[in-house]
């Protein structure tokens, strides 16, 4: 069946949030630093920043895995609470954690930049008459990412967006993809998903019944054994997939 819908991942596919850092969770360092400053300015004593950051690094992978396994949702303020508890600090109210989480998100936004060719690709896909959607694994509020999409000229091209922390549905499960497809009112057999993490994007998109395109935009992710996307983007500037540009891709 012909493709009528193109769905994108966000981080690493359209917008890069890693800043100067090449590895996760180290790329979260600016966020932890901003959150620490907010908490420290409350007047309460805190251990050194390095202890706070390392506690966050220790809990983030565990909490991310719990979210993807449908055990618990992951949001930034909850991560900060776990990091503080790890270093023996339990005196901050939820409002303090929310303020620190907002500062965390703002710091991550400051290091974000749009990936080469992304705006042109999304614009061309929308202009060609496809429905356009987005599914993103993120511990941040979707409104934060929508603000980034707007400032980079992406948001107006999307018909629907799904952010995992908002709906507690996480890739590589099929749930967030099916949520998005329902919002768009389309069937999975007409849709293709484009993302940079094979273990999340290719596996998840396929679980939802979609075709998938791998976009190897960084070295952060490896292709799991036995996982083959339907296509792979070979040229970033033109979003070339095999012999076709993305908007003409129809295997």
Query: What is the secondary structure of 27-82 as a DSSP string?
Result: GGHHHHHHHHHHHHTTT-----HHHHHHHHHHHHHHHHHHHHTTS----HHHHHHH
* Across 20-24, 111-115, 247-251, least confident range: 247-251
Percentage with pLDDT > 70 across the chain: 98
Q: CB pairs under 8 A, 24+ apart, for 65-71? A: 67/139, 67/164, 67/168, 67/170, 68/137, 68/170, 68/171, 68/172, 68/173, 68/200, 70/170, 70/173
More confident residue, 237 or 52: 52
Please state the pTM of the whole predicted model: 0.94
**Beta-strand relationship, 240-241 and 244-245:** antiparallel
On the question of pLDDT at 11 being above 80, the answer is yes
Are the C-beta atoms of 18 and 219 separated by less than 8 Å?
A: no
More confident residue, 86 or 236: 86
Per-residue pLDDT of 147-184, as tens digits, reads 999 999 999 999 999 999 999 999 999 999 999 999 99
Nearest to 26 by CA among 63, 47, 54: 54
> pLDDT class for 70, splitting at 50, 70, 90?
very high
Give phi and psi for 198, each to the nearest 5. Answer: -55, -40
**pLDDT for residue 211:** 96
Nearest to 115 by CA among 18, 243, 193, 213: 18
Compute the distance between CA of residue 206 and CA of residue 158 in angstroms, rounded to an integer.
21
**pLDDT for residue 247:** 75
On the question of pLDDT at 1 being above 90, the answer is no
On the question of pLDDT at 47 being above 70, the answer is yes
**pLDDT for residue 146:** 98
Average pLDDT over residues 17-28: 91
**pLDDT for residue 93:** 93
- 148 contacts: CB under 8 Å, gap ≥ 6: 15, 109, 112
**pLDDT for residue 241:** 85
Per-residue pLDDT of 187-199, as tens digits, reads 999 999 999 999 9
Average pLDDT over residues 5-28: 94
Per-residue pLDDT of 23-40, as tens digits, reads 899 999 999 999 999 999
**pLDDT for residue 224:** 65
For 247, the token pair is 């908007």
Per-residue pLDDT of 212-228, as tens digits, reads 999 988 777 676 677 88
Token look-up 């979707």 returns 142
For 134, the token pair is 């987005």
**pLDDT for residue 234:** 85
**pLDDT for residue 92:** 94
Compute the distance between CA of residue 152 and CA of residue 147 in angstroms, rounded to an integer.
9
Tell me the pLDDT of the chain averaged across its residues.
Answer: 94
- 56 contacts: CB under 8 Å, gap ≥ 6: 25, 28, 32, 79, 80, 82, 83
Per-residue pLDDT of 93-115, as tens digits, reads 999 999 999 999 999 999 999 99
Within a 10 A sphere around the Cβ of 216, how many other Cβ atoms?
Answer: 17
DSSP three-state, residue 7: strand
DSSP at 189? G
């Amino acid at each position: 069946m012909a493709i009528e819908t193109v769905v994108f991942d966000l981080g690493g596919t359209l917008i890069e949030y890693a800043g100067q850092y090449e590895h996760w969770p180290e790329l979260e360092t600016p966020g932890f630093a901003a959150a620490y400053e907010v908490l420290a300015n409350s007047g309460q004593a805190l251990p050194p920043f390095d202890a706070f950051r390392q506690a966050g690094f220790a809990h983030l992978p565990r909490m991310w895995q719990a979210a993807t396994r449908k055990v618990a949702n992951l949001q930034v303020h909850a991560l900060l609470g776990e990091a503080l508890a790890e270093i023996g600090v339990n005196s901050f109210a939820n409002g303090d954690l929310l303020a620190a989480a907002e500062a965390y998100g703002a710091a991550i936004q400051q290091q974000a930049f749009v990936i080469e060719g992304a705006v042109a690709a999304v614009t061309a896909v929308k202009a060609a008459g496809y429905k356009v959607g987005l599914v993103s694994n993120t511990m941040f509020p979707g409104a934060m990412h929508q603000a980034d999409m707007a400032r980079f000229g992406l948001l107006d091209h999307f018909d629907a967006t799904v952010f995992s922390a908002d709906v507690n549905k996480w890739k590589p499960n099929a749930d967030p993809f099916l949520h998005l497809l329902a919002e768009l009112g389309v069937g999975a057999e007409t849709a293709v998903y484009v993302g940079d993490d094979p273990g999340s994007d290719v596996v998840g998109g396929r679980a939802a019944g979609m075709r998938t395109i791998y976009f190897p935009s960084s070295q952060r992710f490896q292709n799991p054994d036995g996982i083959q996307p339907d296509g792979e983007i070979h040229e970033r500037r033109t979003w070339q997939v095999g012999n076709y540009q993305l908007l003409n891709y129809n295997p």
